[in-house]
């Protein structure tokens, strides 16, 4: 099932109560929003954006290929990401491509373990038991417009419960300069800024998977090619930063 055929069934409406978030979290989100907007401002001075920055030096953009080749992997934090695109008829409307973000076990806090999935075999290298965090859809101007989650088979990840994925978000950090310092800072900040929504999305992901398993009890839900997209949410950096700023202002 192509992503474009599935989206109507899994869109969520965020109900984040910003007033209920801890002040420390709001301040971290506000700082992340400022950093993202500053990166956009600086790149725009030379008519650049984060996608173009990451693809710099590639004369041709090939469908399915990972950019950069070999992914971006921080050997200290064990955070990882790549950018790619599906064929045109398998993309969201106006999508150029999307980022996939991950965290590997060596970067996870104590107590995080893969979910119990019938028939799942652990990888030979324990650090290959990576968790997908969130995917970030980018429009043709290099601006993020949608966050989404996917079924396990899509990325070849090891499955972790929504509660554990939520606990991993603060540990995602790309803290080096290659292949692009601005993009590394940007994607780290984006996950900080939208952390509450990402938590909602992975919770919705688990509900989608559970409902699918209930209606298809004879199959392996995590490998079912008819279930690809599991949740998605439209986003706006400007609206999110304004909502966070209002919540902080109300705190006084």
Q: Is residue 238 part of a domain?
A: yes
Q: Is residue 17 part of a domain?
A: no
Average pLDDT over residues 28-44: 98
Q: Is residue 16 part of a domain?
A: no
Average pLDDT over residues 157-177: 98
State pLDDT tens for residues 197-242. Answer: 999 999 999 999 999 999 999 999 999 999 999 999 999 999 999 9
Rounded to the nearest integer, the mean pLDDT of the chain is: 94
Q: Is residue 77 part of a domain?
A: yes
Show the domain range for 183. Answer: 3-10+22-161+172-251
Q: Is residue 130 part of a domain?
A: yes
- The number of folded domains in the chain is 1
Of the candidates 72, 40, 51, which has an alpha carbon nearest to the alpha carbon of residue 189? 40
Q: Is residue 199 part of a domain?
A: yes
Q: Is residue 97 part of a domain?
A: yes
Of the candidates 237, 238, 175, 232, which has an alpha carbon nearest to the alpha carbon of residue 202? 232
Q: Tell me the β-bridge partners of 83.
A: 67, 99
Q: Is residue 15 part of a domain?
A: no
Longest distance between any two alpha carbons in the chain, whole Å:
55
Categorize the per-residue pLDDT at 3 as very low, low, confident or very high, splitting at 50, 70 and 90.
very low
State pLDDT tens for residues 57-73. Answer: 998 999 999 999 999 99
State pLDDT tens for residues 110-139. Answer: 999 999 998 889 999 999 999 999 999 999
């Amino acid at each position: 099932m192509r992503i474009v055929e599935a989206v109507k069934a899994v869109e969520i409406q965020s109900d984040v109560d910003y007033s209920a978030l801890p002040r420390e979290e709001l301040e971290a989100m506000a700082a992340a929003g400022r950093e993202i907007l500053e990166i956009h401002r600086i790149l725009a001075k030379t008519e650049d954006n984060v996608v173009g920055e990451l693809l710099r030096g590639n004369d041709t953009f090939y469908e399915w290929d990972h950019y950069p080749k070999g992914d971006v992997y921080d050997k200290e934090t064990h955070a990882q990401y790549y950018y790619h695109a599906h064929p045109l008829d398998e993309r969201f409307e106006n999508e150029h491509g999307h980022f996939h973000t991950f965290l590997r076990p060596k970067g996870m806090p104590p107590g995080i373990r893969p979910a119990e999935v019938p028939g799942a075999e652990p990888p030979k290298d324990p650090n290959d038991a990576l968790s997908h965090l969130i995917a970030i859809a980018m429009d043709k101007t290099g601006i993020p417009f949608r966050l989404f989650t996917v079924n396990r088979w899509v990325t070849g990840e090891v499955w972790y419960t929504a509660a554990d994925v939520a606990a991993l978000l603060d540990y995602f950090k790309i803290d080096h300069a290659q292949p692009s310092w601005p993009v590394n800072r940007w994607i780290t900040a984006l996950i900080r800024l939208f952390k509450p929504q990402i938590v909602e999305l992975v919770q919705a992901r688990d509900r989608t998977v559970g409902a699918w398993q209930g209606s298809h009890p004879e199959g392996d839900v995590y490998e079912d090619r008819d279930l690809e997209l599991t949740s998605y949410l439209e986003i706006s950096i400007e609206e999110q930063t304004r909502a966070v700023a209002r919540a902080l202002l109300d705190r006084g």
